[in-house]
Structure 1
Amino acid sequence: MIRPSGRTDSRLLWPIAIHPFTGTVEVVFQHLKRSPPLDDEPLRRELMTKLNEIEGVDLAEAKLDLRPSFPVEVFAEHSEEICAVPEWFAHTVALAEARRMPDGDPGTY
């Protein structure tokens, strides 16, 4: 969510959506491209690269601005690699947010 000051509330950003009934994991590039810091295409591309390094994930380059998906079964076989991606995401967003804060106070927007 973008606040009136133009800052992003990092607690409202997420890189994926899990759809258990369809058995898919959707990567929400379409939404991320409107939210700093992932509005920066190289960061979205880095997220795609990290996911594509996991066996069973094959996100097409042409879908960098869309919502591509991969099978949820990948979680069962590659949980450690999958967990590293949201950790990278959270670290990247928090670091970018800290760099933008004028006084270092996360509550100041």
Structure 2
Amino acid sequence: MWPIAIYPVSGTVEVVFQYLKRRPPFDDEPLRRALMERFNAVDGIDLAEAKLDLRPSFPLEVFAAHGEEIQAVLEWFVHEVALAEARRPFDEESARAVF
């Protein structure tokens, strides 16, 4: 699972809400909205609310200029995914198939 796609040739970074809306835990709209808000808190990023289910983009230059802030957003994303995975019910049938 990934939150962004980087296109160096066109100089854009897409936030892939369109794909995230089908993948837990980001199938939950408030969590996608929280991700959007975190990106929008970075100077130079202005993702439109109307694009919460699409693939809005921002300039790659913003990524270069605000790498630490974007890294914090991406670390939050990874934390949310890991937390959701840890909370997922243990499936004993799957565990037996592995061993």
Deviation at 1:85, TM superposition (A): 1.0
Match of 2:82 in 1: 94
Q: Do residues 78 (structure 1) and 36 (structure 2) align?
A: no
Match of 2:6 in 1: 18
2:46 maps to a residue whose letter is D
1:43-93, CA deviations, whole angstroms, 9 ceiling, x for partnerless residues? Answer: 000000000000000000000000000000012211110101110000000
Distance in 2 of aligned mates of 1:50 and 1:88: 9
Taking only aligned residues, the RMSD between alpha carbons, in angstroms, comes to: 1.8
TM (norm. structure 1) is 0.82
Stretches of structure 2 that go unaligned for 5 or more consecutive residues are none
Return the index of the structure with the highest Cα Rg: 2
Identity of aligned residues (%): 71
1:69 maps to a residue whose letter is S
SS at match of 1:95: helix
TM (norm. structure 2) is 0.90
Match of 2:40 in 1: 52
Stretches of structure 1 that go unaligned for 5 or more consecutive residues are 1-12
More helix by share: 2
Aligned with 1:39 (options 27, 31, 42): 27
